[in-house]
Amino acid sequence: MGKLSYGIDPGVVQDIAAEIAEVVASGIQMAIVVGGGNIFRGLKAAAGGMDRATGDYIGMIATVMNAMTLQDALEQMGIPTRVQTAIAMQEVAEPYIRRRAIRHLEKGRVVIFGAGSGNPFFTTDTTAALRAAEIDAEVIFKATKVDGIYDCDPQLNPQARRYHTLSYNYVLAQDLRVMDSTAIALCKENNIPIMVFDLTGRGNIRRAVQGESVGTIVGGFCEVS
């Protein structure tokens, strides 16, 4: 969405695609789960009176629009990309098939997962954790608008402290809401670390993938730092 109040900012899409292309060109396999909040938020619609399941389904369809937009930007840069959706849309995307997704990654293609998990009442955070476990991903990169996890809202408190590492248990116990609890629990169960970083910083995707300290890592740590 960028600085727009609604929809898709082509410049932002191009910037993100360029960073992804740089990472993929280095030989790293990457799968992406996209949200749809720039177009439609099911939870917000439900708060306004819409049936929650209906709102969530509309939100899932919105993620497919974003997935196709990102696919187009990547392929214009020469990066082979496949969109797989949890809700069948065979005219525009492949259905989600785990083995096919893994094979695409092995062939150097970027796989974009759209339509969430295909089920209402589950977030794209949970979808990311689920797909990561299914394709045996090494790490989840949670791209946000802040540079990590803080002990309080840094926009309200300039003295807020940014964590470098956190345990799954600490995130769950403190209800830090960096991802929903179902997603955190899935990552904990499958020992998948989560790197939370700022997507808006130029070059941050590459730096995060290379292991630089650009955010907060959630994992099986015994201590908080």
Look at residue 114 and give its three-state secondary structure.
strand
Q: Is 150 annotated as a binding residue?
A: yes
The pLDDT assigned to 151 comes to 87
Taking alpha carbons only, the member of 203, 145, 196 closest to residue 15 is 203
CA–CA gap between residue 31 and residue 104 (Å, rounded): 10
Query: Residue 45 CB: number of other CB atoms within 10 A?
Result: 17
Q: Is 37 annotated as a binding residue?
A: yes
Q: Is 181 annotated as a binding residue?
A: no
Domain 1-137, CATH = 3.40.1160.10
What's the predicted TM-score (pTM) here?
A: 0.94
| CATH superfamily of domain region 139-225 | Acetylglutamate kinase-like (3.40.1160.10)
Q: Is 121 annotated as a binding residue?
A: yes
Q: Is 119 annotated as a binding residue?
A: yes
- Torsion (CA) 153, 20, 103, 140 in degrees, nearest 10: -20
Q: Is 56 annotated as a binding residue?
A: yes
CA–CA gap between residue 123 and residue 36 (Å, rounded): 10
The pLDDT assigned to 21 comes to 97
Q: Is 90 exceeded by the pLDDT of residue 6? A: yes
**Backbone phi and psi for residue 49, each to the nearest 5 degrees, phi listed first:** 115, -10
Q: Are strands 110-114 and 81-85 parallel, antiparallel or unpaired?
A: parallel
Q: Give strand pairing partners of 110.
A: 81
**13 within 8 A of 70, measured Cβ to Cβ:** yes
Q: Is 41 annotated as a binding residue?
A: yes
Q: Are strands 194-198 and 215-219 parallel, antiparallel or unpaired?
A: antiparallel
Q: Where residue 178 falls among pLDDT bands split at 50, 70, 90?
A: confident
CA 47 to chain centre: 24
The pLDDT assigned to 37 comes to 94
Q: Is 69 annotated as a binding residue?
A: no
CA–CA gap between residue 201 and residue 213 (Å, rounded): 13
Q: Is 169 annotated as a binding residue?
A: no
Q: How far are the Cα atoms of 111, 170, 175, 221 from residue 225, in angstroms, in the given order?
A: 33, 11, 17, 10
Let me know if the fold of 1-137 is the same as that of 139-225: yes
Q: Where residue 31 falls among pLDDT bands split at 50, 70, 90?
A: very high
pLDDT, average across residues 69-96: 97
Q: Look at the chain and count its residues.
A: 225
Residue-range domain boundaries for the chain: 1-137, 139-225
Alpha helices in the chain (DSSP H): 10-25, 42-47, 52-76, 98-106, 124-134, 168-174, 181-190, 204-209
The pLDDT assigned to 53 comes to 96
